[in-house]
Structure 1
Amino acid sequence: MNKTPLTVAGAELLRAELHRMKTVERPNVIAAIAEARSHGDLSENAEYDAAKERQGFIEGRIMELEGKLATAQIIDPKLLDADGRCVFGATVDLEDMDAGTTVTYQIVGEDEADIKQGKISISSPIARALIGKYAGDIAEVQAPGGVREYEVVDVRYI
């Protein structure tokens, strides 16, 4: 089975969601099904159908989260010793060679990627271009508008 890389923070978020699904969402939907059942005829009961559909979604999400956590390879960026190389979990400061602007990204797993928080997926084009690079290297990224060049300014493991 393939291991899925996750940062410590990403694994905690998945565990918290799993806990919420099992302790809050699942009991709520069971109560909603019981309530809808008490209304009588199930063949024309929209509340019952909606609650059963919601239950299916919740059970599917619980299974998905348990599967992801079971196959997770949890990586703590603080414990990495990659000698300044861009690797999974690293926080990278980049300078756009064309625009002259700087951005900071952390390379994370697909489930924890959030561009608004500066977290990019390991499978994104920019992360794939950065892997293995050192500070001072130029990364060429195939973007929808053409090739963009970024200089790696700094690599940190935080």
Structure 2
Amino acid sequence: MSRGFVKEDDQEEVPFVPPRADLPEGVTNYVTQNGMDELLAERQDFAHEKENLDPTNEKERRIAVNHINAKLQLLNNRISTAKIVDLTKQPQDEVRFGALITLKIESAKKSQQYQIVGVDEADIAKGKISFISPIARLLTDKKVGEQAILKLAKEDRVFEIMGISYDN
């Protein structure tokens, strides 16, 4: 049937789903095993959410299902392109993907820890930075005792590598 014969009230809005974390075209979607586990758990959560939608209002239910399906499509694409990095095979004395790095940042009294992870795992509040971030790129291939200098607009920030581990 032509869309011209459909009542305006029956037309559903296409749900807006914000994109997942940015992964530039052509960049491999590296993840840790924990990251893959989180993606799979997220997929289970969406399936559970879909099963438990309120069936009383059919229009609202259809809109919610469309929204969940759109998010699932993005998530399934990310899962299907994920390449799990075996952290035990990383050079243990160099900063690479998956490394948990202990850093001393310039004159800070306390050291800080960051792990280099996949784009979907990155969460600065949890000390996880994306492997495509400028800081991760700057630290990659460095060893304990080496320094990396991040050039900012008004200053240079010096990071000294105090420790490297690959605990998953």
Normalising to structure 2: TM-score of the pair?
0.76
Q: Does 1:71 align with 2:81?
A: yes
| 1:10 counterpart residue number | 35
Corresponding pairs, count: 142
Q: Does 1:151 align with 2:160?
A: yes
Query: Where does structure 2 lack aligned partners over 5 or more consecutive residues?
Result: 1-25
Per-residue deviation, residues 83-123 of structure 1 (Å, max 9, x unmatched): 41100000111111233431011100111111222111112
Q: Does structure 2 conserve the Cα–Cα contact (< 8 Å) formed by 1:80 and 1:157?
A: no
Q: Does 1:36 align with 2:57?
A: yes
Give the Cα separation in 1 of the matches to 2:110 and 2:150.
16
SS in 2 for 1:98: coil
Change (3 A) 1:54 1:11: same
Q: Does 1:94 align with 2:118?
A: no
The letter of the residue matching 2:32 is: T
Q: Does structure 2 conserve the Cα–Cα contact (< 8 Å) formed by 1:87 and 1:107?
A: yes
Q: Does structure 1 conserve the Cα–Cα contact (< 8 Å) formed by 2:93 and 2:164?
A: yes
What are the residue-to-residue correspondences of 1:99-138 with 2, within 5 Å? 99-138=108-147
The letter of the residue matching 1:120 is: I
Q: Which moved more, 1:85-94 or 1:68-77?
A: 68-77
Give the Cα separation in 2 of the matches to 1:144 and 1:118.
24
Residue from 51, 56, 67 that aligns with 2:61:
51
Q: Does structure 2 conserve the Cα–Cα contact (< 8 Å) formed by 1:2 and 1:71?
A: no
Normalising to structure 1: TM-score of the pair?
0.81
SS in 1 for 2:44: helix
Give the Cα separation in 1 of the matches to 2:99 and 2:124.
15
Residue from 21, 24, 49 that aligns with 2:46:
21
Q: What is the deviation of 1:143?
A: 4.2
User: Hey, which of these two has a bigger chunk of strand by percent?
Assistant: 1
Q: What is the deviation of 1:154?
A: 1.1
SS in 2 for 1:53: helix
Give the Cα separation in 2 of the matches to 1:155 and 1:120.
15
The letter of the residue matching 1:53 is: I
Q: Does structure 2 conserve the Cα–Cα contact (< 8 Å) formed by 1:89 and 1:107?
A: yes
Per-residue deviation, residues 3-40 of structure 1 (Å, max 9, x unmatched): 30000001001101101212x111223xx3x4213xxx
